[in-house]
Amino acid sequence: MPKYSIVVVDDERSDANKVVEQILKLKDIHKIGDFEDVKVFENGKEALNYLMHHKVDILFLDIQMPEISGFELYKILPQPMRPALVFVTAYAEFALDSYKLDACDYLLKNVTFDAVFLALNKCLKRLGTPIMI
């Protein structure tokens, strides 16, 4: 079974925890692989430092954060280090910009199980291992 490293970045810890909760629920129900690592960062700069030094497969990223936005964070990453990307935000108006960065998906906050399932499947498809239901 493939192993995936996932990072969730959101300055609102409760929103980050909701995403992680849905990911872990999805793993248990669909047996989609081994998430060897699900890391959470509340600060874009700390996340960037981690991403520059670790291989990450999937990134769930808030857009509006203090110090560095999700867009800025992702653009700083060298192309070969960029993980499959899902933006998770409270702002619908940034959707078009997110796809210009080749995001797999764009979720509005208060994420649901179904939304995370579809987003994660898009990421896994890009990585070559979609969820089989």
3-state secondary structure the chain: CCEEEEEEECCCHHHHHHHHHHHHHHHHHHCCCEEEEEEEECCHHHHHHHHHHCCCCEEEECCCCCCCCHHHHHHHCCHHHCCEEEEEECCHHHHHHHHHCCCCEEEECCCCHHHHHHHHHHHHHHCCCCCCC
Q: Which of 40-49, 57-66, 89-98, 123-132 has the lowest mean pLDDT?
A: 123-132
15, 88 contact by CB (below 8 A) = yes
Question: pTM (2 decimals)?
Answer: 0.90
* Residue 1, pLDDT score: 60
* Residue 19, pLDDT score: 93
pLDDT beyond 90 at 10: yes
Q: Which domains does the chain have, with CATH numbers?
A: 3-126 (3.40.50.2300)
The mean pLDDT value for 34-39 works out to 75
